[in-house]
Amino acid sequence: MKKVLFSVIFVTFFYVFAHADTDVISRVSVEGLKNVKPRAVTSVIESKKDKTYDAETSRDDIRSILELGFFDDVEARFDKNSGELTFAVLEKPYIERINFKGNKQFSRGKLKSESVLKEKEYYDLGKFEETKRKINNLYREAGYTDCRIDVYPTTDPDTNQMTISFLITENNRITIGGVKIEGVISFKEKKAVKLMKTKANKVFKEDIFQADLRAIENFYKNNGYMDYMFVSSSDTYNEDRTKMFLTLNISEGIKYELGNISYDGNFSVSDKEMKKLIKLKKGSIFNQEKIYESIQGIYEIYSDKGYLHALVSPSFDKGSKDGVVDVTISIKENSVVYVGNIYVDGLVSTKEKVIKREVLLKEGNVLAAGKVRRSVEKIYNLGFMESAEPQILPTGSPDIMDLAFNVTEGKPGMITAGAGYSSVDQFVGSLQFQHMNLFGLAQRLNLLWEFGARRQNYEIDWTEPWIFDKNASLTLSAYNIERKRDYASTVDAYKENRVGFSAKVGPRISDYISLLFGYTYENVKLSDITLVGQEREDFERAAGMDLSRDRTSSVVGQIAYDTRDYIFDPTRGQRQLLSLQVAGGPLGGNVNFVKGMFKSTWFFPTFWKLVLSVNLNFGAIGPYGGQNDVPIYERFYVGGADTVRGYKYRTEIGPVDGGQFMSVLNVEYKFPIVAEKGRTILQGAFFYDIGGTWAKFGDINFSLGTGDNNLRSGVGFGIRFATPVFPLRLDWGYGLNHRPGDSLQQFYFTIGNVF
């Protein structure tokens, strides 16, 4: 019993001794509040009732309270006797109302929208100054250069609530009365003034004026006047300060032509390559822009060879002869830079090897800038990356740089349902599941069901882009497609049903060249023929086969050269495609034909992100092995959404039974409407199409007209939607070579690009 009593006394004594200097918070209070609720303060602090007071925690609490933005000052006091912790705050004035007086040019609502200070918020000096600046700039941009803004803030000491009154004296609106340029000798003054966007009756804007000065300087220095100088500018006003008269003073200097053009230091780039890069010729006038273009071209070829530290500097010698300048371009190559480590950052579900195998550089390779750019394009062409930004990172060695790709994954898969209408298929509905990055390995799966009055379509496709981790793709497909076809003047003349499967292997020979080999087996059935009389006889003669069932067994070989920057919406580059398909013979089936196709597509970037694209198609098909003709469903038909728009598919261009030869040219000019994250998601297009089909080689006729063997052309415009799964097209085409009685225009709603 004594031992137990002794233990209790000892523990009690130890506890009292250990906590003798401990301060426990008995109460937390906030002083100085007028508009802020106490709860807003106490909710952000760590010091609480019944906790031990800690000075460091209290200092952190002060910072948290100040970060609320409601207070100019906060002080903490702790009373050891009572245990009370008090935060004394100096509250910012609460803005009850903002008034604008004297404003005639802009409404109160417009000025309030410009104001960074807002009613029912707390006053901030920085926001106050920013508001004055923005309102002043608003008036200056509208021409009210003499506008004066006076501000009168008043605060009720009892409530700490503030009213801010902006008193605006707008004064006169000042526009430009005229612009003169003094010192113009070699050109008419009017020519120099036309280079400027600062013009009479417009408002003077400093940024536009500075751009005008650069435009005049570039004009002179691109026309031989390398010593051109802007000397000064002055402005005067009319008596009532409504007009501003601007005078520029320039010094043209003398006009120079190019003398000797030389270069040195190019050990890794041949003289032949250098001559191609330098856009200068002896005897031509001095042109600063061409000099810059030449220097940029030299930098690019050196960076493509790994000389990232190369220096290119031009020098000019005017001493040889008056009005003649010799140009020397000196190159200091420095050392080649090699790739150290390659990193990929930002991956969530994608395996790292999926990105790395698209990178054309490996550790230890020369760090060629061109291959970095192309690698970025290949990463985007996977189809599920929203961004891919390369970074070159220094290492301990100046000759070795690490390469990092910062990527952001997009949505790789989506289930979509939609409906549309086209002149070919009328109302069409679709349900599709597509995934472009199965298991994070960039495998693609597509399940599609299309249904409508004239079309039923079931498709399944699966693609492995790197089969067995080799640089080759494998695609397996199966489909069941049923469509109603027109013939001559009869709509829904018969039903065409195709059921089949295919397997394709596509080895990539290089970054730009790829091959494809495939096998397809399908059953084709033509049924439900509604034709009567002569049209039925013509159709059965043209079909020339057992209409109940045909079996096609074929192989295809294809070679493609593709330099497009972004395959889903190219802005530059080209794609050349040559393919040959052979059906029947030793492959089996009861259909024998050989079909060859050549497709050449080009994309040219122009001004304002507009893209000119040109596509040229040639095709030929013929029977062999004792078969007299080509199946009607394998022949070429022109017209509709994918060839010559403005005409009905199959029935308005070429022979009614289709042709064995085909040629189509498409020209499109696309322009962006809506862009997001650097990619165009909505764009418009103007187009011109021309093409035709012919039954035999001797019928080929490249003149425009309305006959079966004539080419037909059409023009129109369209809208392109870039959805996460597939592109959508809305096109309106107007045919220029219709027969009397034909509909002159067609409307198309289509999935996929024209080319």
Contact 665/690 with Cβ under 8 angstroms? yes
CA neighbor of 133 nearest in space, from 141, 152, 209, 105 = 141
Tally Cβ neighbours within 10 Å of residue 105. 15
Helix (H, G, I), strand (E, B) or coil at 588: coil
* pLDDT of residue 726 exceeding 70: no
Structural contact between residues 30 and 89, judged by C-beta atoms closer than 8 angstroms:
yes
* Rounded Cα–Cα distance for residues 241 and 144 (Å): 10
Residues near 69 by beta carbon (within 8 Å), at least 6 away in sequence: 92, 122, 124
3-state secondary structure of 628: coil
Nearest of 502, 514, 482 to residue 554 by alpha carbon: 502
Residue 625's region, left for phi above 0, alpha for psi from -120 to 50, else beta, is left
CA nearest to 276, candidates 308, 306, 298: 298
Element (H, E) at 661: strand 661-676
pLDDT for res 15: 42
pLDDT at 491: 86
Angle between helices 288-304 and 206-221 (to 10 degrees): 90
Asked whether the predicted pLDDT for residue 103 surpasses 90, the reply is: yes
Angle (nearest 5°) at CA 155 between 154 and 158 = 150
Q: How far apart are CA 420 and CA 430, in angstroms?
A: 9
Residue in 312, 313, 290, 291 with CA at minimum distance from that of residue 301? 312
Pick from 471-480, 504-513, 736-745: least confident? 736-745
Measured CA distances, 669 to 534, 608, 666, 685, 720 (Å): 44, 12, 10, 5, 12
Question: What pLDDT is stored for residue 750 in this prediction?
Answer: 76
First to last CA, the chain: 99
Question: Is the pLDDT score of 707 beyond 60?
Answer: yes
Distance CA(461)–CA(449), nearest Å, equals 12
- For the beta sheet containing 311-321, the strands, ordered from the edge strand earlier in sequence to the opposite edge, are 257-264, 324-332, 311-321
How does strand 443-452 pair with strand 455-464? antiparallel
Contact 316, 325 (CB under 8 A): yes
Going through 265-399 in order, the beta strands assigned E by DSSP cover 311-321, 324-332, 338-345, 385-394
On average, the pLDDT of the chain sits at 90
At 400, the pLDDT band (50, 70, 90 cuts) reads: very high
According to DSSP, the β-strands at 161-169 and 94-101 are parallel
Q: Is the separation of the CB atoms in 335 and 321 below 8 Å?
A: no
pLDDT above 70 as % of the chain: 93
A 10 A CB-CB count for 209 gives 16
Give per-residue pLDDT as tens, 113-162. 999 999 999 999 999 999 999 999 999 999 999 999 999 999 999 999 99
Helix or strand run (H / E) with residue 355: helix 352-356
Spatial neighbors of 3 by CB under 8 A, at least 6 apart, are none
Tokens of 635: 């022949």
pLDDT at 10 over 60: no
Cβ count within 10 A of residue 500: 18
Residue 621's alpha-carbon distances to 269, 343, 525, in angstroms, are 48, 50, 20
Q: How many Å apart are CA 605 and CA 570, to the nearest integer?
A: 9
Identify the residue with better confidence: 158 or 754: 158
Reported as a pLDDT band with limits 50, 70 and 90, residue 419 is low
Cβ–Cβ < 8 Å for 660, 635:
yes
CB 231 within 8 A of CB 297: no
Q: Specify the DSSP element, H or E, that contains 42.
A: helix 38-42
The single-letter DSSP state of residue 9 is: H
Residue 298 has pLDDT above 70, yes or no: yes
DSSP H helices, 413-532, are none
Length of the chain: 755
pLDDT for 5 equals 44
Q: What is the pLDDT of residue 532?
A: 87
For residues 469 and 453, give the distance between their C-alpha atoms in angstroms, rounded to a whole number.
44
Dump pLDDT digits (tens) for 33-92.
999 999 999 999 999 999 999 999 999 999 999 999 999 999 999 998 899 999 999 999
Note the pLDDT of residue 18: 43
What pLDDT is recorded for position 321? 78
Task: Answer for the pair 226, 323: CB distance below 8 angstroms, yes or no.
Answer: no
pLDDT of residue 332: 96
**What is the per-residue pLDDT for 221?**
95
For residue 151, the Cα-to-chain-centroid distance in whole angstroms is: 45
Token pair in block for residue 597: 């196709």
**Which pLDDT belongs to residue 4?**
45
pTM (two decimals): 0.74
Closest CA to 63 of 81, 48, 51, 75: 75
Confidence bin at 6 (pLDDT 50/70/90): very low
Of 273-277, 451-455, 503-507, 609-613, highest mean pLDDT: 503-507
Domains of the chain: 23-91 (3.10.20.310), 94-169 (3.10.20.310), 175-251 (3.10.20.310), 257-332 (3.10.20.310), 338-409 (3.10.20.310), 635-755 (2.40.160.50)
The structure tokens 């000798």 sit at 185
Burial environment of residue 400 by CB neighbours within 10 A (0 to 12, 13 to 18, 19 or more): middle
Average of per-residue pLDDT across 249-276: 93
Amino acid at 127: K
Whether the per-residue pLDDT at 12 is higher than 70: the answer is no
